[in-house]
């Protein structure tokens, strides 16, 4: 499968669906074979390829077109984009060989989210889930999430009047993960200064959108919400967001 992907990158012999399927097959074996990580991240350049394919596909999608009933067949490009996000959503959390190319992937995810949030809710939600999983990964730099536009994309969801429990839960965990990492002090003087500066940037971003106290409020209620949510208790998580 590595050879198939590598050959396509040189000769472009596969359709977009076939190329995505090859990646999906390879990535599904990632969890059982750590040696694949070096191949996936640095030799086949997963982040670069995923970004390029998604951007190419999304240029062919009419994001403003609304679904006309359940029977209307989705465009091929929409289906392939959904499949890419199934892979991205699952694999941003465990990957350890992190590099700056992923910032570009974050930017693409943020752009797709904005384009899809009106008429393609499933894709939009997968974007948020992907960014949530990236924030869980300790090898992902917080400033990469900030520079890639991931923070902006997630913040835009908080003010949506149709915010549902599932997405509210993902947003909550996204900011809690970032906040926990920003709270950990570094021993090195230079690293500690960088942490403080990054923390200031994140809170400035929250302040711009009117959410400067939101991260603090998340810490106070997160355990309670997580227990209630996991038990299936009827609870609208978005009601607990603090809007300053």
Looking at residue 59, what is its pLDDT? 92
Number of domains comprising the chain: 1
User: Which of 19 and 219 is assigned the larger pLDDT?
Assistant: 19
Looking at residue 9, what is its pLDDT? 95
Residue 70: is its pLDDT beyond 70? no
User: Which of 170 and 237 is assigned the larger pLDDT?
Assistant: 170
Question: Could you give the CA distance from residue 92 to residue 101 in angstroms, rounded to a whole number?
Answer: 13
Residue 102: is its pLDDT beyond 50? yes
CB 101 within 8 A of CB 43: no
Q: Which pLDDT band, with edges at 50, 70 and 90, does 222 fall under?
A: low
Q: What is the pLDDT of residues 147-180, one digit of tens each?
A: 888 888 887 777 666 667 777 778 777 877 787 7
Token couple for 177: 């993960």
Domain boundaries, position 221: 2-240
Looking at residue 221, what is its pLDDT? 56
Residue 109: is its pLDDT beyond 90? yes
Lowest mean pLDDT of 98-107, 141-150, 154-163, name the range. Answer: 154-163
Looking at residue 232, what is its pLDDT? 52
> What average pLDDT is seen over the chain?
79
Task: Provide, rounded to the nearest whole percent, the portion of the chain with pLDDT above 90.
Answer: 25
DSSP state of 61: -
pTM (two decimals):
0.79
Question: Could you give the CA distance from residue 35 to residue 180 in angstroms, rounded to a whole number?
Answer: 30
Q: Which pLDDT band, with edges at 50, 70 and 90, does 58 fall under?
A: very high
Residue 219: is its pLDDT beyond 70? no
CB 81 within 8 A of CB 123: yes
Neighbours of 103 (CB within 10 A): 20
Q: Work out the average pLDDT over 142-149.
A: 83
Closest among 98, 165, 161, 84 to 130, alpha carbons compared:
84
Looking at residue 50, what is its pLDDT? 94
Q: In a 3-state reduction of DSSP, which class is residue 100?
A: coil
Q: Which pLDDT band, with edges at 50, 70 and 90, does 243 fall under?
A: very low
Residue 51: is its pLDDT beyond 70? yes
User: Which of 21 and 235 is assigned the larger pLDDT?
Assistant: 21
Looking at residue 226, what is its pLDDT? 59
């Amino acid at each position: 499968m590595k050879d198939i992907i590598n050959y396509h990158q040189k000769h472009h012999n596969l359709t977009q669906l076939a190329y995505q399927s090859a990646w999906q097959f390879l990535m599904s074996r990632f969890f059982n074979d750590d040696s694949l990580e070096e191949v996936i991240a640095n030799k086949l350049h997963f982040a670069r390829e995923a970004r390029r394919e998604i951007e190419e596909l999304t240029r062919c999608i009419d994001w403003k077109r609304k679904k006309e009933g359940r029977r209307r067949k989705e465009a091929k490009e929409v289906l392939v984009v959904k499949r890419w996000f199934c892979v991205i959503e699952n694999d941003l959390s465990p990957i350890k060989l992190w590099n700056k190319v992923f910032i570009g992937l974050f930017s693409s995810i943020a752009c797709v989210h904005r384009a899809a949030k009106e008429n393609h809710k499933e894709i939009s939600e997968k974007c948020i889930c992907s960014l949530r999983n990236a924030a869980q990964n300790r090898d992902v730099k917080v400033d990469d999430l900030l520079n890639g536009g991931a923070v902006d994309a997630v913040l835009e969801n908080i003010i949506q009047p149709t915010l549902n429990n599932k997405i509210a839960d993902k947003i909550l965990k996204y900011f809690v993960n970032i906040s926990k990492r920003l709270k950990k002090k570094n021993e090195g003087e230079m690293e500690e200064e960088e942490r403080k500066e990054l923390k200031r940037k994140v809170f400035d971003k929250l302040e711009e959108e009117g959410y400067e106290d939101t991260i603090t409020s998340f810490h106070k209620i997160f355990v309670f919400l997580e227990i209630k949510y996991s038990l299936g208790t009827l609870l609208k998580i978005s009601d607990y967001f603090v809007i300053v």
